[in-house]
Amino acid sequence: MTSGDITFHTRKWVRPEDLNANGTLFGGSLLRWIDEEAAIYAIVQLGNGNAVTKYMSEINFVSSAVQGDLIEMGLTATHFGRTSLTMRAEVRNMFTRESILTIEKIVFVNLDDDGLPAPHGYTSITYDRDRVPYQHLGTAGR
């Protein structure tokens, strides 16, 4: 399922604990889900479990969701820097098909074991599982 270059991998079910006082999806829950989704995407693309959120551009909540709705989240890499990865995110309501938000720039930075920015060496998107974080190479094949 794609929208432009974005592949929508993850779905969430809007539950009572995800609502704001208006009875619609709480922005904080959505941002937590997006940050986690972006972290997983960055780990897979950079082959390093030690990548952190550096920057998020303006977020415009254009529509919402209500309890029981299903939403889907998608990300795509838009730029591979030296130590960073920039992504674009979109979230939409599966029932109404409306876009809930887009984030044009989410930047993650690849860190070394000392927590300092480190070159990741990648320039393009992988659609495979070929960049398994080195910490897990001993258990490859799971």
Ligand X SMILES: CC(C)(COP(=O)(O)OP(=O)(O)OC[C@H]1O[C@@H](n2cnc3c(N)ncnc32)[C@H](O)[C@@H]1OP(=O)(O)O)[C@@H](O)C(=O)NCCC(=O)NCCS
Instruction: Give contact residues for ligand X (rule: CB under 6 A).
Output: 52-55, 81-84, 107, 109, 117
Instruction: Identify which of residues 29 and 53 has a Cβ nearer to ligand X in the complex.
Output: 53
To the nearest whole angstrom, how small is the minimum distance from the Cβ of residue 10 to ligand X?
20
Least distance to ligand X, CB of residue 9, Å: 22
Q: DSSP for 63-109, please give it.
A: ---BTT-EEEEEEEEEEE-SSEEEEEEEEEETTT--EEEEEEEEEEE
The smaller minimum CB distance to ligand X, of residues 46 and 65, is found at 46
By C-beta, is 83 or 102 nearer to ligand X?
A: 83
Residues 6+ apart with CB under 8 A from 125: 45, 76, 77
